[in-house]
Structure 1
Amino acid sequence: MLLNYLCSNFLEESAFAETCGVSLNELCCLMDRRVFPAPSYVYESNGRSVSFVSDFQEDATYRFHLRGYKAWIDAISRFELDTEEHARCYFFNRYEIAKQTFLASEHGRKLAEVAPDIPEQFNSGHADMTWENFLKGVYGVCTRDGQPESVFLKQAGVMFIEELTSAGPGSLATPELQLLAKAVTLLDSVESEFAPHEALHASRQRCIVDVQSKFLDKAAA
């Protein structure tokens, strides 16, 4: 159920602001100044509640922010991210460290060997798109915590998995299947479960569930 999912992973805007120790007006100002993401979900309620006390009808709009974005609010205060330039620089400092750490790891190096064009795609245009999606609340939808490190790992996981599986089942040798399995595990660790109505159309289905059934389960059989 959508509301169960939203209430488990997100906070309605007023509750989020209270948790973060800011007013609703201050939160709106941070979004207007493009230093904090927009709500990841906007829920239009046209509902009715019936109990022995009352029969209540409500028309309202609820905005949901990822619970993990409290860490971004804390960073705004701690590091004085008072302009978009400062916020973007801080975001990409962390993002770049995550990228370099991953590509220097054994798993990252091996993935880059079999898909050498992927690292080159993390260019300035990709950075612009990433920042705009961050501000739109996209990574509150598709990652567990919305943090720059998770954003990079989600992007890299999807890109490498799609490249490795592009030729279809049966196209990979055992070493490549082992790399693929690790990439799927990595993506699974940072990617959200997605809302019930999104799950079948999201990258989790395409890059984790389908890959496990079409590539990895068969390889293990």
Structure 2
Amino acid sequence: MNLINYLNNNYFTKQQLLDLAKITETELLNFQQQNVMPKCSYKLKLHYTSHSFFGEFNDQSEIEYYAKGYLSWLGILKVTEDPQTVFNLFALRYTKAITYLKNSGHHSDDNTVNSALNLHIKQEWKSFLEGIYGLCTHSGLPEDIAAKEVAILQINEMLALDETGIDLTELTKAVNLLDKSSAMFAPHERLKSSRHRLVDEVRRLYTLTR
């Protein structure tokens, strides 16, 4: 039940997403087949048995869950579904987010957010369409994806230093950024997640404040 509660509290079911976006299931599938809309982040297969006065009843169902941020993404697709235009918008938003983070003091020497940023965004786009970032970021949208990637790079770079060389103020900022942009993860995933390793454990080991 913990998993079901987590999904119902933090995601839209496919039907909820369709109702809120005012589109049909066929339209959603068409967007996904055109590679402009992410797949679901979780798919729950249920097998259940009911007992009542009328006897036993057995059935099964499948529920898809989507990041709540995808509602606004569908708003974009209702205006344009041209794959190149949609990718360009994703890339623009991702690039703007990286620039904003750098101007806010979040720096990384890693090529993926510097000289190789364009290639990195193409790889991120593929993961976005697979629904991966709907699972591991707060909104599933480019801004949170960029923040998560930069924060992880920063934290790993600082943890690779000798302990005496770590700036705890900068480490706290990076950890807080990751905390803000990351999803909580489903209960069975948390101990394996980047949030547990780079937020919970780093805060515990370095006694960081939020």
Taking structure 2 as the reference length, what is the TM-score of the superposition? 0.90
**Structure 1, residues 6-45: CA drift from partner, whole Å, max 9, x if none?**
1111122122111110001111111111110000011111
- 2:153 paired with 1:154: no
| 3-state DSSP of counterpart to 1:42 | strand
Q: CA deviation at 1:121?
A: 6.5
Letter in 2 for 1:142: C
| 3-state DSSP of counterpart to 1:94 | helix
| 3-state DSSP of counterpart to 2:40 | coil
- Mapped to 1, the partners of 2:53 and 2:176 lie a distance apart of 49
1:211 — aligned with what?
202
Q: Which of 127, 130, 142 does residue 136 from structure 1 map onto?
A: 130
- 2:73 paired with 1:116: no
- Mapped to 2, the partners of 1:177 and 1:151 lie a distance apart of 24
- Mapped to 2, the partners of 1:3 and 1:122 lie a distance apart of 39
Letter in 2 for 1:183: A
1:198 — aligned with what?
189
Letter in 2 for 1:190: S
Q: CA deviation at 1:138?
A: 0.6
Q: Is the 8 A contact 1:157 1:183 kept in 2?
A: yes
Taking structure 1 as the reference length, what is the TM-score of the superposition? 0.86
Q: Is the 8 A contact 1:34 1:83 kept in 2?
A: no
| 3-state DSSP of counterpart to 1:130 | helix
Q: CA deviation at 1:116?
A: 2.5
Q: Is the 8 A contact 1:38 1:136 kept in 2?
A: yes
Q: Is the 8 A contact 1:139 1:151 kept in 2?
A: yes
| 3-state DSSP of counterpart to 1:189 | helix
CA distance 1:122–1:56, change in 2 (3 Å): farther
2:119 — aligned with what?
125
1:39 — aligned with what?
40
2:100 — aligned with what?
101
Q: Tell me which moved more, 195-204 or 58-67.
A: 58-67
Q: CA deviation at 1:216?
A: 3.1
Q: Is the 8 A contact 2:35 2:83 kept in 1?
A: yes
| 3-state DSSP of counterpart to 1:46 | strand
- 2:165 paired with 1:164: no
- Mapped to 2, the partners of 1:51 and 1:171 lie a distance apart of 66
* Structure 1 residues without counterparts, runs of 5 or longer: none
CA distance 1:71–1:62, change in 2 (3 Å): same
Map 1:18-29 onto structure 2 (within 5 A). Answer: 18-29=19-30
2:62 — aligned with what?
61
* Structure 2 residues without counterparts, runs of 5 or longer: none
- The structure with the largest helix share of the pair is 1
| 3-state DSSP of counterpart to 2:207 | helix
| 3-state DSSP of counterpart to 1:116 | coil
Count of residue pairs the alignment pairs up = 207
Q: Tell me which moved more, 195-204 or 43-52.
A: 43-52
| 3-state DSSP of counterpart to 1:178 | helix
Percent identical pairs in the alignment equals 28
- Mapped to 1, the partners of 2:13 and 2:56 lie a distance apart of 24
2:4 — aligned with what?
3
Letter in 1 for 2:95: E
Q: Which of 175, 178, 191 does residue 169 from structure 2 map onto?
A: 178
Letter in 2 for 1:141: L
